[in-house]
């Protein structure tokens, strides 16, 4: 009788374990039945002639073995057949060729069978729990989650959410200015969920553009309510970002709503992103106007578009070129990311001013060198010759290469 109590208690313990692991009752019953059947199959060679009935209310199960009645002395497989005399002790009215059902008391098979059942259950419940974790986090990919810093390594950081699920934040998913201690609470988005060998790995990020998008959704009620829509986001994490917004209600200023009175709404986002400078612009379907707004604070003279190749040639007054490019080319990079156009910046040539576009020197200067200079907004010969040394240094050219460029350009005007 003690063994029966042990079996019942064992099922009860797994029922409690089920509650802790958030596995629903129906699934748990199915797992229990499958586990019993697996053990029966190992003990009897097959579980096909067994009925396993789970009693969730009682927390136990009943097992019945269906045996074919054969004449006494002709039992060839005692796991599938039963002699007539023994069969009639179970069912006095049974006849040869019929089946009788014999109740099996699992606890009588001993501690080894019970241990085998427990191990099978543990394995299946673990698999179920992994499936549940994968499904849960797969459904919230791209959403913000909060975790507590549990462990910090050189290349990644381990966070634990409120249910103690492990979240991995690789170094490249951390903002350059991030510096955390064990126990700190950290906000990030669920970037992706990997599942190698059925072992879910949840990767979270603070550098993904979607993190900036979600922060605005949390901080700006008009975005949360659908009155303002975020159209595009571009980020250089920890440095600068641009976000394009649009309102379908003419009474709402989308940029003003996102920034807030005296920057009240955007300041919290900036602090969360380690003082990342955020430009909020008003979206427009007009690509020329959109590029113009994206290159703010520079004032553009004119734009020439190639919509098929998604390229834009932007012309500015010489004094505006450095603003369009930005520190380290950051402004023009973000504008390109935001609008989806490859942007080349050119210095506007004044009427009567002699100048030549760099592209015309392609027979003497390598194309990649010309592109490196154009990326800095130096699209003409005079722009390169008049550029200060610290600007030319940003092209990251060898001294000899840069000197060759200057010699070629000077020779053109000397001639």
Nearest to 104 by CA among 136, 76, 82: 82
In a domain, 295, yes or no: no
Q: Is the pLDDT assigned to residue 261 strictly greater than 50?
A: yes
Q: What is the pTM of this model?
A: 0.68
| Mean per-residue pLDDT over the chain, rounded | 86
Q: What are the CA-CA distances from residue 189 to residues 132, 144, 206, 268, 279 (Å)?
A: 19, 4, 7, 17, 21
Gyration radius of the chain over CA positions: 36
CB contact burial 249-265 (16+ within 10 A = b; e otherwise): eeeeebbebbbeeeeeb
pLDDT reading at 3 higher than 50: no
Query: Concatenated DSSP letters for 164-178?
Result: --EEEEEGGGS-TT-
Task: Give me the mean pLDDT over the 251-269 stretch.
Answer: 92
CA distance 216 to 106: 59
Distance (Å, rounded) from C-alpha 299 to C-alpha 279?
Answer: 15
Residue 16 confidence (pLDDT) above 70: no
Q: How confident is the model at residue 2 (pLDDT cuts 50, 70, 90)?
A: very low
Which is more confidently placed, 1 or 345?
Answer: 345
User: Rounded CA gap, 325 and 345, in Å?
Assistant: 8
Q: Which of 58-72, 145-159, 224-238 has the lowest mean pLDDT?
A: 58-72
Regarding whether 102 and 173 lie in a shared domain, the answer is no
pLDDT value at residue 359? 83
Q: Quick check: 250 pLDDT over 90?
A: no
Q: What is the CATH number of the domain that holds 175?
A: 2.40.50.140
Among the three residues 165, 182, 207, which one is the final residue of a domain in this structure? 207
Q: Final residue of a domain: which of 77, 105, 136?
A: 136
Determine how many CB atoms are found less than 10 A away from the CB of residue 19.
10
- Residue 193 resides in a domain: yes
Whether 213 is in a domain gets the answer no
d(CA 67, CA 84): 11
Task: Specify whether 89 is located in the same domain as 147.
Answer: no
**What's the CATH number where 60 sits?**
3.30.1480
In b/e form, how buried is each residue of 326-352, taking b as 16+ CB within 10 angstroms? beebebbbbbbbbbebebbbbbbbeee
Confidence at residue 353, expressed as pLDDT on a 0 to 100 scale: 64
Phi, psi of 43 (to 5 degrees): -80, -35
Shared domain for 126 and 49, answered yes or no, is yes
179 lies in which domain range? 140-207
126 & 164 share domain: no
Express each pLDDT in 105-126 by its tens digit.
877 777 777 787 778 777 877 8
CB 243 within 8 A of CB 233: yes
Q: What pLDDT, on a 0 to 100 scale, did the predictor assign at position 197? A: 84
Same domain, 58 and 127: yes
Q: Is 126 found in the same domain as 189?
A: no
Domain boundary among 186, 207, 228: 207
Distance CA 358, CA 33 (A): 77
For the chain, the maximum distance between any two Cα atoms, rounded to a whole number of angstroms, is 122
- In a domain, residue 12? The reply is yes
pLDDT in tens, 277-304: 999 999 999 999 999 999 988 988 888 8
Q: Is the pLDDT of residue 4 over 80?
A: no
pLDDT digits (tens, 9 = 90+) for 326-336: 888 899 999 99
Interatomic CA distance for residues 299 and 323, integer angstroms: 9
Range 76-91 burial, b when 16+ CB lie within 10 A, else e = eeeebbbbbeebeeee
């Amino acid at each position: 009788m003690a063994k029966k109590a042990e079996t019942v208690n064992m099922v009860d313990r797994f029922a409690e374990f089920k509650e802790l692991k958030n596995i629903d009752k129906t699934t748990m019953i199915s797992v229990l039945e499958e586990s019993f059947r697996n053990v029966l199959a190992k003990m009897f060679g097959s579980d096909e002639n067994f009925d396993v009935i789970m009693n969730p209310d009682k927390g136990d199960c009943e097992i019945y073995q269906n045996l074919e009645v054969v004449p006494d002395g002709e039992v060839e497989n005692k796991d599938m057949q039963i002699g007539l005399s023994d069969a009639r002790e179970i069912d006095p009215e049974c006849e040869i060729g019929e089946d009788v059902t014999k109740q099996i008391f699992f606890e009588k098979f001993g501690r080894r069978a019970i241990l085998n059942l427990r191990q099978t259950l543990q394995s299946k419940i673990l698999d179920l729990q992994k499936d549940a974790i994968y499904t849960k986090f797969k459904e919230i990919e791209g959403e913000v989650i909060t975790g507590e810093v549990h462990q910090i390594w050189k290349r990644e950081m381990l966070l634990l959410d409120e249910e103690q699920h492990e979240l991995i934040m690789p170094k490249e998913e951390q903002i350059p200015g991030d510096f955390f201690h064990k126990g700190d609470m950290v906000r990030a988005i669920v970037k992706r969920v990997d599942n190698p060998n059925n072992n879910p790995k949840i990767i979270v990020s603070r550098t993904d553009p979607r993190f900036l998008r979600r922060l605005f959704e949390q901080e700006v009620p008009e975005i949360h309510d659908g009155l303002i829509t975020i159209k595009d986001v571009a980020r250089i994490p920890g440095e600068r970002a641009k976000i394009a917004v649009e309102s379908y209600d003419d009474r709402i200023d989308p940029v003003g709503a996102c920034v807030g009175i005296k920057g009240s709404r955007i300041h919290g986002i900036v602090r969360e992103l380690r003082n990342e400078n955020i430009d909020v612009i008003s979206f427009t379907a007009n690509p020329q106007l959109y590029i113009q707004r994206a290159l703010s604070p520079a004032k553009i003279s004119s734009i020439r578009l190639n919509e098929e190749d998604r390229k834009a040639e932007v012309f500015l007054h010489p004094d505006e070129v450095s603003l369009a490019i930005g520190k380290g080319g950051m402004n023009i990079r973000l504008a390109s990311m935001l609008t989806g156009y490859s942007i080349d910046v050119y210095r506007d040539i004044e009427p009567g001013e002699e100048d030549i576009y760099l592209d015309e020197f392609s027979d003497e200067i390598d194309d990649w060198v010309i592109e490196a200079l154009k990326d800095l907004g130096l699209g003409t010969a005079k722009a390169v010759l008049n550029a200060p040394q610290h600007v030319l240094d940003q092209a990251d050219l060898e001294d000899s290469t840069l000197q060759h460029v200057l010699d070629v350009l000077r020779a053109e005007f000397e001639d």
